[in-house]
Homo-oligomer: A and B are copies of this chain.
Amino acid sequence: MEKLRKHIEEIIPITDEEFESIKPFFTIRRVLKNQYLIQQGDDARYEYIIMSGIFRVFYLDEDGKEHIVQFATENWWMSDYIAYFNQKQANLYVVCMEPGEVLCLTLEGREELSAVLHKMEHFFRIKLTKGFIALQQRIISLLSSNPQQRYKEFADLYPSLMQKIPKKYIAEYLGVSRETLSRLYSSNK
C-alpha cells in the first residue's frame, strides 16, 4: 500500500489521515501468469492499478484475432474502461503475462473518493489527462506512421517492454501481422 501512496503523491501530497481514508477503497489482489482479470461478457467491476507484473488488455475480433489496447506494468492503470465507466459488460480481455499484484478499485469507490476528497478528484483528473494525451499520440501514430516508424516509436517509448514482451504482441499493438513486424527489423537494422 505504500506504493499506492507514493503513486498518489507523484501528483499531489496527502496527509497520513487522508491516506488512511483512501486505503479502504482499494483491495489488493495477487495475479498469476495467464490469469484473466476481465473477460468479454464480464461485468467490468474494477479498474486495476498495477503494483507489479505485466499485463495486456486486448480486443478479440470476430475472426478471433487479438488487438492490443494497452500493455501495463507497475503504476499503470488498466481496465475495460468503456465497460467500466458505463457499467456495461466487458468487450475486452485483461490478462496477466508476468505474475504480480494489483490494487482493485470499483467505479463507486472512484466516484466516492472523488466526491469526498477534492484532492483525489484532482489526482484522477491529472491521471486521465495524461492518459488522454497518450491515446491521442497513439492515434496520430496509427494514422501518420507506417509500421516501421510505429515500431521505432514504440521501441523508443517503451524500451523496457521491448525486452519483456513477445514480439507477436507488439505486432498486435502496432496493428501489423507478426510476420510483417519480423521482416521490418530483420531487414532495416
Residues of B within 8 A of A68 (CB): 143
Q: Are A144 and B82 in contact (CB under 8 A)?
A: no
B65 touching A136 by the CB < 8 A rule? no
For chain A residues 62-76, which have a beta carbon within 8 Å of chain B? 65, 67-69
A68's closest neighbor in chain B, by CB?
B143
Q: Is the CB of B121 within 8 A of A125?
A: yes
Which stretch of A97-105, A126-134, A177-185 is in the interface?
A126-134
Question: Quick one: which of A91-116 are within 8 Å of B by CB?
Answer: 114-115
Least Cβ distance of A171 to chain B in Å? Answer: 11
A interface with B by C-beta (< 8 Å): 59, 61, 65, 67-69, 81-82, 85-86, 114-115, 118, 121-122, 124-125, 128-129, 131-133, 135-140, 142-144, 172, 175
Q: With A86-B133, A125-B125, A139-B139 given, can you name 10 additional A-B contacts, CB distance below 8 Å?
A: A65-B144, A67-B140, A81-B132, A82-B133, A82-B137, A128-B128, A128-B132, A139-B142, A142-B143, A142-B175
